[in-house]
Structure 1
Amino acid sequence: MSVDVAVVENAAVSSGSGGVVSAGGVLPADGVFVEVRCGEAWTSGWLVADRAEVSALSAAGASAVGERVVSVAVVPLSPEAPVWEGRVRPDQVVIASLQRPVPVFWDRVAGSLAAAMVARREAATLRERLEGAQAEHREWVDAVATSAHAWADENNLCGEFDRFMAEHDLPPRRREFSVECEVTITTRVGVTVEARSAECAEDDVDREMVARAVGRRIGGFRRHDLELDDFTVRGVQA
């Protein structure tokens, strides 16, 4: 059964489930008993919302209501149950059909929850500004380092410039280095051996035979300055 609910500064319309939702996506006033849907679960209790975010959402217009979220807290009926807090869309908050009077401790609890939301929002804003300032500083350092590298190259500065940059946590110039690497390559080659048995043929294979077989495949083993370290016989066929 749906009911009419009068909330200050909030128009309300009946929902299909018998509850009441705020018209236009505007959240109910603090202290209204609501149900908050998060996924498939419902949480019920008295609402406290970050009113600065609600005002910003209202100012953004109806087109943004379905996309933006606001911070809310829900104080449950049971004093032993924890307060639910989260960020939800306005259409996830439904005014309960059965309204309950606010508890005697409401003003104290609601004030603390609202203050905590403000503190978290301000901290997030400061963190965002700090991250932005750090990103701008990194871009400035990179630009200065790039200009310094160009100036050092134009004036034929030696490695002392690079050591100075490194000592002051600035990127030194990049240059090409020749790096010698020792490489191990695995391949399979066939070696022809005359022997009395497969076991003898396996025993007769030596490094020189394998090196010659590899050389025939690559056009010369020694000419490429290659050296065979080891080999393993994987099978013998007559």
Structure 2
Amino acid sequence: MTAAVADSSGTSSFPYPDGTYVSVQIGETSIKGWIVSRPLLVGGGKGLVSAVVVPSNPDKAPMFVEVTREQVTPLEQHVALASWSRVEKVAQLLLTAHLDAQVAQLECANTARNLEAVKTQHAQWVNQLVEASHRWANENELCGQFDEFMEEQGLPTRNADYVIEVSATIGLRLRLTRTARSESDAEDIISSEDVDEELQDMIGHPDFDLHEWRVVSAAKDEH
């Protein structure tokens, strides 16, 4: 006695009835066994189905596949109907669980997208509220207590002008002229006061500290 077999001419409905013995082509791999299939619930193109294929060989595990009619070929089968009856319920439960998992995954993805949209809308609303609050505070000349309140609530305070004092290290090459007997003597007579005075004349700003300096070279002034 054999299980029901779909017409190999392809005129039967697709997905095929549960228990149809088929050959499923996945790339270069051909899988033979009983098929339990349902229309694909999540994604995929037209005519695509989710299926579990149960090999007639009990040593091989059922396989989940997503296939089109062109990938499934009904076969004449010579395996006793009793063999299919032993796995029919399990195969149907496996496919149902697989489809339920797909739906749950889609629902989770939709929920995540909706949550992200709500977070974005909330952030926009907070930004608009903060900007309006800042304008109102400035127009009404509110003092720093307003900014303290905003900070306590974890909200941005108003922008303010700040004076920043910066200590900067710069590299300059100065040309000083001194009278000496040789280049080495000229180098030796240069002092920190000489460098400081030359910098004052060049920069015109007395508010700096001279930390380091060194003589790079000395040469006779030919002018």
- Cα contact 2:36–2:92 (8 A) shared by 1: no
Q: Sequence identity, in percent?
A: 25
Distance 1:236 1:140, change over 3 A: same
Task: For residue 190 of structure 1, report the CA deviation from its aligned partner.
Answer: 3.8
Instruction: Give the TM-score taking structure 2 as reference length.
Output: 0.59
Of 208, 217, 221, the residue aligned with 1:236 is 217
* 1:14 alignment counterpart: none
* 1:51 alignment counterpart: 40
Correspondences of 1:158-197 after superposition (within 5 Å): 158-192=143-177, 194=180, 196=182
Q: In structure 2, how many angstroms separate the alpha carbons of the residues matched to 1:47 and 1:213? A: 94
Q: In structure 2, how many angstroms separate the alpha carbons of the residues matched to 1:33 and 1:212? A: 93
Q: In structure 1, how many angstroms separate the alpha carbons of the residues matched to 2:51 and 2:156? A: 48
1:35 partnered with 2:26: yes
Distance 1:106 1:47, change over 3 A: closer
Give 5+ residue unaligned stretches, structure 1.
11-30, 37-41, 59-69
Distance 1:129 1:185, change over 3 A: same
Instruction: Give the TM-score taking structure 1 as reference length.
Output: 0.56
Q: In structure 1, how many angstroms separate the alpha carbons of the residues matched to 2:205 and 2:51? A: 78
1:106 partnered with 2:91: yes
Distance 1:145 1:111, change over 3 A: same
1:206 partnered with 2:176: no
Q: In structure 2, how many angstroms separate the alpha carbons of the residues matched to 1:98 and 1:73? A: 14
Q: Which amino acid aligns with 1:122?
A: E
Q: Which amino acid aligns with 1:33?
A: V
Q: Which amino acid aligns with 2:133?
A: A
Q: In structure 2, how many angstroms separate the alpha carbons of the residues matched to 1:7 and 1:207? A: 102
Pairs aligned (count): 189
Distance 1:154 1:107, change over 3 A: same
Indicate the structure (1 or 2) with the bigger Cα radius of gyration.
2
Give 5+ residue unaligned stretches, structure 2.
1-7, 16-21, 78-83
Distance 1:221 1:117, change over 3 A: same
1:119 partnered with 2:96: no
Distance 1:138 1:73, change over 3 A: farther
* 2:133 alignment counterpart: 148
SS in 2 for 1:185: coil
